[in-house]
Structure 1
C-alpha cells in the first residue's frame, strides 16, 4: 500500500490511482455532476455563467474540459488550445490533427521495437553459469 498526500487538501491517503483523497474526489464528482446538470438544462452557456450558477470554479471547469468530460460547443473558442500547436479545440489536450500525428509516431516507434532482432545469446562454454556441483561434472 502506497501512501500519498492529497493534492487538494494535503491529507494522507492510500493511493489508488488518483492524486485526490476519497473525500476530495467525491467533491470533484459532485462538482462535475452540478456542471453537467446545468449544461444539460442550459446548453451553450459560457464558462462564467456555469461557474456562477453552480459555484464551481472556472479552473475546475477547465479541468473537466481538458479531461474530455465536457466540451465547448463553438469550434472557434479562445478558452482551450491544443497543447502542441495551440489551435482552438473543444475539449481534451490535442486537436484532431496533432492527435493523429502523435498516434502515428507512437505506433511507428512500437513497430520498430518489434521488428528489431533480439540480441544474440552468448552460448560459449565460458559464459555459462552453473552451480558448483554441476560445474565439477564438466571438468
Structure 2
C-alpha cells in the first residue's frame, strides 16, 4: 500500500491497486458513475458493457462492480456476463444465483439452529451470525 493524495480533495490516503480517490471521494465518484450508467441504460436498454463504458466514460471495472452490487442488471438472459461465485451459472447481477442464495440461507439457518443448543456463543458471535442471516434474506 502506498500513500497518495486524493485526485478530488487532495487528502492523503493509503492507496491499493491504482486507486485515485480517498474512501469518501470514492463513494461520491461511484455514485456519479452509477447515475451516468443508469441514465444511459434508461435511454439504451440492452446496451453491452463496452458500449456503456465508451458512451459514459465509466470504466468496465466500475460497471461490473455495479452489476455485482446489484445496482444495475443485464436485461437479456443470453447476455449474462457474470457467473455465480458458487456454481458458475450465468447471472444478471449480484454474486450468487437465486438457487445458491436460497441454499446459503438454509445452510446459515441450519448452522444457527445447531449452534443454539451446543455452544455458548459470545454476544458478538451471535450478532455476526444474525447479520449474515439478515443480509442473505435480503438478497432473496
In the superposition, the TM-score normalised over structure 2's length comes to: 0.69
Give the match for residue 5 of structure 1.
Answer: 14
- 1:106-117 equivalence runs, <5 A: 106-116=108-118
Q: Deviations over 1:61-93 (max 9, x none)?
A: 001000000000112335110001110000000
Identify the structure with the greater helix proportion.
Answer: 2
Correspondence list, 1:51-70, <5 A: 51-70=53-72
CA deviation profile, 1:27-65 (whole Å, cap 9, x unmatched): 111011100111111111111111111000111100100
What are structure 1's unaligned runs of at least 5 residues? 12-19, 119-139
Higher strand share: 2
Contact 2:34 2:66 survives alignment (8 Å) = yes
Match of 2:95 in 1: 93
Q: CA RMSD in A?
A: 2.0
> What residue number does 2:107 align with?
105
Matches for 1:25-104 after TM superposition, within 5 Å: 25-104=27-106
Q: Looking at both structures, which has the greater relative contact order when contacts are Cα pairs under 8 Å and sequence separation is at least 6?
A: 2
CA pair 117-29 structure 1, distance change in 2 beyond 3 A: closer
Superposition deviation, residue 5 in structure 1:
2.8
Following TM superposition, the consecutive aligned residue runs of length 4 or more in structure 1 with deviations greater than 6 angstroms are none
1:125 counterpart residue number: none
Deviation at 1:6, TM superposition (A): 4.9
Contact 1:77/1:89 (8 A) holds in 2: no
Corresponding pairs, count: 107
Distance in 2 between the 1:109 and 1:95 partners?
Answer: 21
Which structure 2 segments of 5+ residues have no match? 1-12, 121-140
Higher-Rg member (1/2): 1
